[in-house]
């Protein structure tokens, strides 16, 4: 079993903690059409194989792509990186140099975690307002593993074009946000807006890794 970091924004974090988000779609890099144009050596795996477009169009089980997925295979784990802060006294300290589990970590999506008097590293209680001692904003990509409060287990991996998404999967991946887009009541249309806002207007026909997961560990 391997563990891989997965970046999430605040909305994704809250939806995952609320058991509303159970899938994520991430772009295949490079896109299969590019691989097919260049020949039959996959830059993803380094193995010689038919062009990815031709492979995906066959009757081969898509689970064979698990080994190529950079996020892991079924049974592997993902740990979520999200935006965070610690005390201002550490503002000049690089994340890698922060002493693990010796301070309160405040999450931009809400909630905090700290080393409690009981000796357990678990949820802390603070008012909704950010405390005066909170330090500077830290991007998700710089979160150390020991700070992560969300651990996920991969239950399925497949490859498809993002525009093949069903209404059910749109809700599982991000269609929960369609309430924020009252013009489009359809979860698929809402997810399209969400996806294109992240990856650009030309992204709706791209190939993506579809990763289904279950929540193993979470601190709100």
* pLDDT tens, position by position, 148-201: 999 999 999 888 889 999 989 998 997 666 555 544 578 888 889 889 988 998
Q: Which residue has the tokens 């969300």?
A: 150
Res. 5: pLDDT tops 90: yes
Comparing 217 with 158, the larger pLDDT belongs to 158
Closest to 26 (Cα-Cα) out of 142, 215, 156, 199 = 199
Contacts of 122 (CB under 8 A, 6+ apart): 113, 114, 116, 219
The pLDDT of residue 141 is above 90: yes
* Residue 134 pLDDT greater than 80, yes or no: yes
- Model confidence over 57-83: pLDDT tens digits? 443 344 445 567 889 989 999 999 999
- Residue 110: how many other CB atoms lie within 10 Å: 12
Rama region for 96: left / alpha / beta (φ>0; ψ in -120 to 50; rest): alpha
- Superfamily of domain 3-33+67-79+150-217 in the CATH hierarchy: Sulfate adenylyltransferase (3.10.400.10)
Q: What is the pLDDT of residue 127?
A: 65
* % of the chain beyond a pLDDT of 90: 51
- Please name the helix (run of DSSP H) or strand (run of DSSP E) that holds residue 172, with its range, or none: helix 167-173
Give the per-residue pLDDT at 81. 98
Of 190, 129, 173, whose CA–CA distance to 8 is shortest?
Answer: 173
Distance, C-alpha 113 to centroid of its chain: 20
Instruction: Collapse the DSSP code of 107 into the 3-class scheme (helix H, G, I; strand E, B; otherwise coil) and give the result.
Output: strand
Answer for the pair 148, 7: CB distance below 8 angstroms, yes or no. no
Angle, CA 69 vertex, CA 62 and CA 28 arms, to 5°: 90
pLDDT per residue as tens digits for the range 14-61: 999 988 899 999 998 877 655 444 444 444 445 544 444 444 444 334
User: What are the residue ranges spanned by the domains of the chain?
Assistant: 3-33+67-79+150-217, 83-145
* pLDDT of 210 higher than 70: yes
What does the pLDDT read at residue 55? 46
């Amino acid at each position: 079993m391997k563990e891989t970091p997965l970046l999430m924004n605040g909305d994704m974090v809250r939806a995952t903690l609320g058991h509303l988000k159970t899938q994520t779609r991430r772009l295949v890099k490079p896109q299969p059409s590019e691989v097919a144009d260049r020949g039959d050596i996959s830059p993803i795996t380094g193995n010689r194989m038919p062009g990815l477009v031709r492979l995906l169009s066959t009757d081969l089980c898509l689970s064979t792509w698990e080994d190529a997925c950079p996020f892991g295979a079924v049974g592997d784990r993902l740990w979520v990186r999200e935006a965070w802060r610690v005390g201002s006294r550490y503002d000049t300290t690089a994340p890698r140099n922060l002493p693990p589990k010796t301070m309160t970590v405040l999450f931009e999506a809400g909630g905090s975690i700290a080393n409690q008097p009981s000796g357990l590293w678990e949820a802390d209680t603070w008012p909704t307002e950010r405390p005066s001692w909170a330090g500077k904003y830290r991007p998700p990509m710089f979160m150390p593993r020991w700070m992560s409060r969300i651990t996920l287990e991969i239950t399925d991996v497949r490859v498809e074009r993002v525009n093949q998404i069903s209404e059910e999967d749109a809700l599982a991946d991000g269609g929960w946000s369609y309430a924020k887009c009252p013009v489009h009541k359809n979860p698929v249309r809402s997810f399209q807006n969400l996806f294109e806002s992240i990856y650009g207007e030309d992204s709706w026909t791209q190939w993506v890794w579809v990763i289904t997961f279950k929540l193993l560990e979470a601190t709100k």
